Structure 1
């Protein structure tokens, strides 16, 4: 995760030193993208540790299903899954 934090810090420095609004926008975009990757890794970590989708959803003000739709990786590993999510009975009894 430190790689993500390093990238976030670089994006913040780029934003602070931006000399024009477009460069500031680009730095903000880079910051958001890296923060989303960091967040995804953190979700994967708490899921691997046994945290339920219900608990993750509650943290974000979402239902269990909403958290799954937002964060669950699809079977190809290409990114968050959409409506084809299958329930995860192993970690999510509630």
Structure 2
């Protein structure tokens, strides 16, 4: 049985709540704010998954292929946000 991937970022409940907020909004600005929150949660999850993939040995070349980018394009897009900081 394959293990389930659990990114460190957004919890699935957070994503579901943000999506529901966006869908149930009755005012444009409320819907826009919910969409912004949803995007931020998804981006954080994506960065965490890229970090996990790199920790598991996935190459920048393979990540680039997944996103339709070159190796360098993938590095430019994700490297700064996925670096782990040394613990003090």
TM over 0.5: yes
Q: Relative contact order (alpha carbons < 8 A, sep ≥ 6): 1 or 2 greater?
A: 2
Across the aligned residues of Structure 1 and Structure 2, the Cα RMSD in angstroms comes to 1.9
Look up the match of 1:6. 13
TM-score relative to the length of structure 1: 0.74
Aligned residue pairs, count: 77
More helix by share: 2
Query: Runs of 5+ in structure 1 lacking a partner?
Result: 78-94
TM-score relative to the length of structure 2: 0.79
Query: Runs of 5+ in structure 2 lacking a partner?
Result: 1-6
Look up the match of 1:88. none
Matches within 5 A, 1:14-93: 14-73=21-80, 77=85
